Amino acid sequence: MIPISSVDIGQSESDSVLEALRAGWISGTGPSIGMFEQRLAEQVDRSHAIAVANGTLGLELALRALDIRPGDEVIVPALTFASPAMSVLAIGAEPVITDVTPDTWTLAPDQVARRLTSRTKAIIAVDVLGHPADYDEILTFGLPVIEDACEAHGASYKGRPVGSLGDISVFSFYANKTITTGEGGAVCTDSAALHEWMRTTANHGMRPESRYVHETLGRNYRMTNLTAAIGLAQLGRWDELVAGRRQVASKYDALLADAHCTTRPRATWADWSCWLYVATVQDRDKVVGRMRDDGIDARPLWPALSEQPVLAPWRSSCPVAEEVARQSMFLPTFLGLSDADIAFVAQSLTDATA
């Protein structure tokens, strides 16, 4: 089976982890964490970064930092993995599921305008599948914005790196992400006040200089030093890892030019980075089944949030997201995917849609 994704771990990652092991730093404290945070902040042009256990907890921490409370409403796009909506629910707030644009598959500003109420306290904009949302439009609403950059390492919006936008940005470093630590995430901000609050809260509500003195209601959101050691090596390979997936996407673009499918739309103002390559086809489930019979781990796109069972109480009509979700599929995408395998995947998709 050609996998949907594969982790690219080399000697630099192994050396970095062994160094941390030999030094005895294996938990949520240790020098690799600080170095990882500093390099990530520099990479995405932020003043501050805080490493956390995963991207979902990063979203929750960001919402809490913005003082989102039970009963508040938070705008979330309908086309995304479930984490943004789940994070809103986890703190007792209510997700307002909002449709996306057909030309970017990201949050539609005109739909945001229709869903604003006096209870709307924040917007989560997702850089879905490596394509940034339109932040100039989203920021016009005057609400705090969380940039969910979990799938978009290496992308940029009008020349600005993804992760540098909004009040707080959130990254995931899950195993299938372009930059990975296995599990892991980070929150980034330019605000000294937000940074201080999130760092204290992520460490059980303790300041580094006041151990065992809990000044606020905190939890353990921390990334481990071993996880950060992997991340340090991956950050050192940022350009290589981002370019590798872009090359895979370019090859799919060329090989699928005459196939009966379309690829995800991309705006001229976005420098898109490929997380997982997506194709849109007729009779998607049949096509996925045929490709899996060929030994290819093709997968359907996630259902739109407006059709997720757990979110039924907050369901709203999101026709663009629902159509995309019903017709689209992930193709294997990772650095190290051979030209022969890319050609095999493309041919299988072409045959299945003929």
Residue 100, beta-bridge partner list: 107
Q: Are the beta carbons of 101 and 129 closer than 8 angstroms?
A: no
Task: Identify the three-state secondary structure at position 62.
Answer: helix
Nearest Cα to Cα of residue 173 among 341, 54, 39: 54
Q: Are the beta carbons of 294 and 348 closer than 8 angstroms?
A: yes
Cα 293 to chain centroid, rounded: 29
Q: Are the beta carbons of 36 and 43 closer than 8 angstroms?
A: no
Residue 155, beta-bridge partner list: none
What number of CA atoms fall less than 13 Å from residue 42's CA on the CB side? 10
DSSP-derived secondary structure letter, 180 = -
Give, rounded to a whole angstrom, the gap between the first and last alpha carbons of the chain: 22
List the catalytic residues.
Answer: 177
